[in-house]
Structure 1
Amino acid sequence: MSERLQPGDTAPAFTLPDADGNEVSLADHKGRKVIVYFYPAALTPGCTKQACDFTDNLDVLAAAGYDVIGVSPDKPEKLAKFREKENLKVTLVGDPSKEILEAYGAFGEKKLYGKVVTGVIRSTVVVDEDGKVEHAFYNVKATGHVAKILRDLSIEA
């Protein structure tokens, strides 16, 4: 079971392929705040709702100084289909090895329909300009999560 991150921890560095196969690194965003959210699978109802909510609020988040990166175990080809089908503007990266998901505490045991399974734990980590964890939210709901983040970060939509 991977350790959950706490505020003040250094956010694990990563470089992962985006929907176009280009490498995206957390280090590319130094000097900006980054919302890194982890979701189980592209093209599923809950993950689609969450990605659309982030896309709908991208301008508000960007104006408040936040970049957004969505991470799932999907390969770039599936991420590209997801982006095209749902007209997503959020940066999506794939972590098929699940190494980064584990480093962020977003992969492990969870309850699914009353059963304990191992998989992606829907999570969001807010990283500050210096690469430190500002907030870490685990076991979040897909619906209403972006609105909650806006409230928690005191961002006016």
Structure 2
Amino acid sequence: MAIIQSSDKYYLAVLQQSLHTNITTSIRPSQECIPAEQLLNSTVMKMVQYRRIIFFHILCHTHTDLMCFIDPAYLCLCTNDHHANCMEFKRDRTFQCSLTKHCANGAQCVQDHPICPSTRTCICPACFIGDECQFYAKAPGSTLDEILGYELKRNTILSKHPIT
């Protein structure tokens, strides 16, 4: 399963039934996980979590075209039988890197876990490339950085690099 966040919206990008190494997908409006606040009335939304979750099956049964919805505490998938299959999901969780110096040139740093990350990725602004967005790319193939950018190691003399 892959959930994509775009602005304040969440989309069910992939729901994998069997193991595949390559996955291709596209995102359509029908894949949006609708906020529960738009589907349930304010009385239900004010209920404590364990009482509110009772209404989740009703949502899937009533809205037969609903693929998923998101609650302040849960992300729920609607099954083919129109039942809610829910898991804990915190919308306010942030995946921004705790270290602000990881990416260069104003790039956005994201990590795979908010407390104990094992992977960090830089989302480069336009015209920048590289693992840390450290290389400027004004025209494709015009600089040595662009040609060898992913082969070069930081703080190493250029003549010491093995060129493959």
| TMscore range, shorter length | under 0.3
Compare relative contact order (CA 8 Å, sep 6+) and give the higher one, 1 or 2.
Answer: 1
Structure with higher Rg: it is: 2
Between structures 1 and 2, the one with greater helix share = 1
Q: Which has the higher strand share?
A: 1
